[in-house]
Structure 1
C-alpha cells in the first residue's frame, strides 16, 4: 500500500501548530511589507499583519519559492511514497501552476491538486485528502477525487470597508467614495476560480441576510440531497466572528460549523471586518465515515 503525505499552504488557514497535530506540512505564504519579507505564521502573525494593514504599510503577496517547495517534497519522499500537495486556487495565485510545473520532475510521485479552493474550503480538501490516504488510496486516486469535487464548494463574503477593494482596483475611487457615503456593503462570491461581485446592499445587517439566503439557496438546489460541510471565515475581532457563527447556527440548525480567520492573501484585498460563509460538499467516498 502506498504511503501518502499531504501538504498545503497557509492559505488553507491551517496553522503550523495544527499541521503538526494533523501530520501534514504547510508551506507559509510570503508577504512583502514595506519591502521586508515575512512568512505567514512563521515571522508574521495575524495580529501583526492587521497592524501593518491599518498602519497604511505597503503590503504585497508573493508565492513560495520553488526551492522551498521542492525541498519539502524531497524531505517527505524520504519517508513517504507519494505527496499530495493542495495549494490555493490557481485563479487567485500563480503558486499552483508553479507547483504543477515543478512536480513534473518528481516522476509521478508528487500530485498537485488544482481544485480551486481557498481558506476553509481548501482546509476541508486537506482533511478529505488525509481521510482518503487513511483508506489506503494512492496519491493519484486522491488527486482525481479532489479534482472531481473542485467546483462543489461555495463562498460568500462581505466587507466592512471599500478601501482595500479600491486599492486593488476592484472598485473605482468614485464608486468607493459613493459607497462609503451610502454605507454600501458589497457581497462577493467565490464559485471556482476567482473572487466576483454577487450583490450590493446597504449596511452589514442586509449583507448578512443576503449571504444567508444565498447559502440556503445553494444547499436547497446545488447541494440538495447531499451532505455538506458548513464553514465560516472572517477578518473580524473574535467576538464579532463568534456572533456571526451563532447567527448561522440558528439559521442552519443541525450543522457543526467550523470557523477560521480568513487567509491573509485574501485579507490583503478585502481588509479587516469581513465575514464569510462557505460550504463544501462531502466527498462521496467519505460519506459513511
Structure 2
C-alpha cells in the first residue's frame, strides 16, 4: 500500500525544499482587513508583499482551507496514493481538523484517509511531517503507527512562543482585552506553551526574564536530551532576535535557527518568536 502524507501550510513544510515525494501541502488562507484573501504560499506572499503588510500593522487573520479545497486535494492524492495520512493544524487553533474528520468519513474517502489527532504545532509539526515521510518510505502501512508516533511526539516535544503583539492576539479571544491593554502599557512580554490548553509560562519586561521561565519549563518537561529550534521570521527586528541569540549562547544552550510558519506571526505579530524542542530519540533521520 502506497502511503501519502498531507499537511497544511501551518507546518511551514515546503515541498520544493525537501526530497520526499510522498508529502503534499494544502495552503491555509491569510486574510487582510477582513476582506483580502491570499493563499499561504511563498508565491502569494512574495507577489502581494504580505510580510510588509503584516509589519505595517494591518488587521490580519487566517482561514482554513474550504471543504471543497480539501475534497479536491484528497481526490488528487488518491490518484497517486492508496491511503492518506492527514495531519492538520491542531484542533485548538482551527476548525480544519473537524472539517477533515467530517470529509474523511464521506463515502468517497472512508477507509482511505486517516486524520491524525494531535496538538503539535509550527516547526514541531514540520519535523513530524518529515518523520512520517520516512516511515512511509520505510514501508510502514498501518495508519495506527502514525497516530502512535504523533502521540509519542506529543509527550516528547515542547512548543512555546513569545508573541510580539498582544493586542493582535487578544482579537483572537485568547485573553481579556483589559489584561492585554495593561500588559501592553507595561511593555510586558509573555511566554506561552502550546498544549491542549495553552499555558502561560511567565511574564517579564525583558526577553531574558521570560526565557528563564521557558527554559526552566522545557528542562522539567523533557527528561531526555533534546534538539532546540529558535524560530522567527527573517523580517523580525534584528535587535530583538540578537537579544535571544545572546541569551541562549550565554546559557550555553545549543540551538538551530529556522523560519516560523507564517500563520503564527500572522496572529501574534511580526516579531513573534518560538522555541521548539524535540527529544533526540524522536527526531527524523538526517
TM-score (norm 2): 0.84
1:9-51, Cα deviation, whole Å (9 max, x unpaired): 00001124325x3322111111222312100114224993332
Distance 1:283 1:134, change over 3 A: farther
Distance 1:109 1:258, change over 3 A: farther
1:92-112, Cα deviation, whole Å (9 max, x unpaired): 111011111111231312111
Distance 1:179 1:238, change over 3 A: closer
- Name the CA distance, whole Å, in 2 between partners of 1:82 and 1:117: 22
Counterpart contact for 1:33–1:60, Cα < 8 Å: yes
Q: Hey, what does 1:267 align to over in structure 2?
A: 265
Question: How far 1:168 moved relative to its partner?
Answer: 3.0
Q: Say whether residues 1:217 and 2:215 are aligned partners.
A: no
Q: Hey, what does 2:194 align to over in structure 1?
A: 190
Q: Hey, what does 2:37 align to over in structure 1?
A: 37
Q: Hey, what does 1:104 align to over in structure 2?
A: 105
Within a 5 Å distance, the mapping from 1:1-289 to structure 2 comes to 2-18=1-17, 21-23=19-21, 24-34=23-33, 35-41=35-41, 42-45=43-46, 48-105=49-106, 106-149=109-152, 151-152=154-155, 153-191=157-195, 193-219=196-222, 224=223, 226=224, 228-235=226-233, 237=236, 239=238, 241=241, 244=244, 247-248=247-248, 251=251, 257-281=255-279
Q: Which moved more, 1:140-149 or 1:85-94?
A: 140-149
Counterpart contact for 1:33–1:59, Cα < 8 Å: yes
Counterpart contact for 1:30–1:39, Cα < 8 Å: yes
- Name the CA distance, whole Å, in 2 between partners of 1:282 and 1:66: 37
| Secondary structure at 1:22 match in 2 | coil
1:84-127, Cα deviation, whole Å (9 max, x unpaired): 11111011111011111111231312111121111111112101
| Secondary structure at 1:208 match in 2 | helix
TM-score (norm 1): 0.83
Counterpart contact for 2:6–2:25, Cα < 8 Å: yes
Question: How far 1:261 moved relative to its partner?
Answer: 2.6
| Secondary structure at 1:263 match in 2 | coil
Question: How far 1:231 moved relative to its partner?
Answer: 2.2
Distance 1:147 1:92, change over 3 A: same
| Secondary structure at 2:89 match in 1 | coil
- Name the CA distance, whole Å, in 2 between partners of 1:181 and 1:148: 40
Gaps of 5+ in 1: none
Question: How far 1:68 moved relative to its partner?
Answer: 1.7
Counterpart contact for 2:61–2:267, Cα < 8 Å: no
